[in-house]
Structure 1
Amino acid sequence: MNETPLVSQRSALVLLIAGLVAVALGVLIYAQFHNAPGAFIAAIVGFGGAIAIVHKLISTEQ
């Protein structure tokens, strides 16, 4: 039986780093403004931006 991973190690690393950035951004925004919806929206935007940046930083092409 050929067991292939559901997500590659590179994809998992990109998602992990983006998730950490999103959590940090959400916590910092909430600590500053005490606005949960605003912090959630900032975290989502940060997650999307971090995925794009980390994807380019951890490029497999030379």
Structure 2
Amino acid sequence: MATEIDEVYDAEAAMNQLGHTSKVVTERHYINRRLVVPDYRAATDRLAPRPETNEGPDPAL
């Protein structure tokens, strides 16, 4: 419930709904944070390029 309230309103509204006295507790323990981050593969591939892949089986096997 806290996550849904946070998404529609904010963490303070979720805190009030749950009767918490600290928003930190609500955020840390009751609101699920989505782990969505930008795609950084272009930058990391420059440091360690991925090998070309073929559609067939791995010839090393």
Q: What is the TM-score normalised by the length of structure 2? A: 0.30
Larger proportion of helix: 1
Larger Rg over CA atoms: 2
The structure whose RCO (Cα within 8 Å, separation 6+) is larger is 1
**TM-score, with length taken from structure 1:** 0.30
